[in-house]
Structure 1
Amino acid sequence: MNALATSSVPGVAPSVSTPSFSKNDISIATRAADQFTRLYYTAYDAKTRLVDLPSFYRPGSSISWNGTHKQGVDGIRELIVNMPPTHHDVKSFDCHPIPGGTSPPSLLLTVSGNVLHGHGPPSKDRGTVEGHARVFHQTFMLIPDQEATSHLAGEVGKYYIIADAFRFVG
Structure 2
Amino acid sequence: MTTLTKNDIHIVSTAAEHFTRLYYTTYDSSTRADDLPNFYRDSSAVTWNGTPFQGKAGVRELLSKMPPTKHEVQSFDCHPVPGAQPPSLMVSVSGNVTHGKGPAGNPAATPAKSVDGQPRVFHQTFMLVPDPATVPGEPQKYYVNGDILRFVG
TM over 0.5: yes
- CA drift of 1:102 comes to 1.8
Instruction: Report the structure, 1 or 2, having the larger helix content.
Output: 2
Structure 2 alignment gaps of length 5 or more: none
Residue 8 of structure 1: aligned partner: none
Letter in 2 for 1:119: K
- CA drift of 1:26 comes to 1.9
Residue 72 of structure 1: aligned partner: 55
Residue 147 of structure 1: aligned partner: 133
**How does the TM-score come out when normalised to structure 1?**
0.80
Task: Determine helix, strand or coil for the equivalent of 1:20.
Answer: coil
1:112-127 equivalences in 2 (<5 Å): 112-120=94-102, 121=104, 123=106, 124-125=110-111
1:132 paired to 2:122: no
Task: Determine helix, strand or coil for the equivalent of 1:54.
Answer: helix
- CA drift of 1:38 comes to 0.4
Task: Determine helix, strand or coil for the equivalent of 1:19.
Answer: coil
RMSD over aligned Cα, in angstroms?
1.9
**How many positions carry a matched residue from both structures?**
149
What is the CA–CA distance in structure 2 between the aligned matches of 1:126 and 1:163, rounded to whole Å?
A: 35
- CA drift of 1:69 comes to 0.4
1:6-25 equivalences in 2 (<5 Å): 18-25=1-8
- CA drift of 1:129 comes to 3.9
Residue 111 of structure 1: aligned partner: 93
Question: Rg larger in 1 or in 2?
Answer: 1
Which of 26, 33, 37 is the equivalent residue of 2:20?
37
With over 3 angstroms needed to count, the CA separation of the structure-2 counterparts of 1:31 and 1:127, relative to structure 1, is same
Q: Which runs of 4+ in 1 moved over 3 A?
A: 125-129
State the identity as a percent.
Answer: 54
Structure 1 alignment gaps of length 5 or more: 1-17
Task: Determine helix, strand or coil for the equivalent of 2:71.
Answer: strand
Which of 10, 20, 29 is the equivalent residue of 1:46?
29
The answer to whether the 8 A contact 1:57-1:161 is kept is yes
The superposition leaves residues 99-126 of structure 1 with CA deviations (integer Å, 9 ceiling, x where unpaired) of 11222x2101000000000014264158
With over 3 angstroms needed to count, the CA separation of the structure-2 counterparts of 1:50 and 1:132, relative to structure 1, is same
- CA drift of 1:90 comes to 0.1
